[in-house]
Amino acid sequence: MKNIGPYIKIVCEGGKTEPNYFNGWLRSKGFKLPNPAFKAKDHSPKGVAKEAKNLYKEALTLKIPPDQIHIWAVFDCDGHAGIPEAFDLLKPFPIKIAFSNVCFEFWILLHFQRTSRQFQNCDALVNFIQNEHDPNYAKSNDHFYRLKDKIPTAIENAKWLNETYWQSDNRPAWERNPYTDVYQILLSLG
Count Cβ neighbours within 10 Å for each residue of 106-132 and write b for 16 or more, e otherwise: bbbbbbbeebeeebeebeebbebbeee
**Within-domain flag for 105:** yes
**Within-domain flag for 130:** yes
What is the share, in percent, of the chain residues with pLDDT greater than 90? 82
- Residue 12: which H helix or E strand, with range? strand 7-12
Provide the residue range defining the domain that includes 27: 7-189
- Judged on CB neighbours under 10 Å (0-12, 13-18, 19+), 15 is middle
**Within-domain flag for 75:** yes
Give the C-alpha separation, 74 to 132, whole Å: 26
Q: Are 102 and 79 in contact (CB under 8 A)?
A: no
Q: What does pTM read for this prediction?
A: 0.93
Query: Left, alpha or beta for 7 (phi > 0: left; psi -120 to 50: alpha)?
Result: beta
* Pairing, β 96-101 against β 179-180: antiparallel
For the segment 111-167, what is each residue's pLDDT rounded down to a tens digit? 999 999 999 999 999 999 999 999 999 887 888 999 999 999 999 999 999 999 888
Q: What is the pLDDT of residue 141?
A: 81
**Within-domain flag for 2:** no
DSSP letters, 47-85, are HHHHHHHHHHHHHHHTT--GGGEEEEEEEE-TT-S-HHH
Q: What is the pLDDT of residue 80?
A: 87
**Within-domain flag for 56:** yes
Alpha helix locations (H) across the chain? 17-28, 45-61, 83-90, 105-109, 122-132, 144-147, 151-160, 183-189
The low-confidence residues of the chain, meaning pLDDT below 70, are 1-4
HSE-CB for 150 with a 13 A CA cutoff:
18
HSE-CB for 162 with a 13 A CA cutoff:
19
**Within-domain flag for 125:** yes
Q: What is the pLDDT of residue 178?
A: 96
Q: How many domains does the chain have?
A: 1
Q: Are 22 and 147 in contact (CB under 8 A)?
A: no
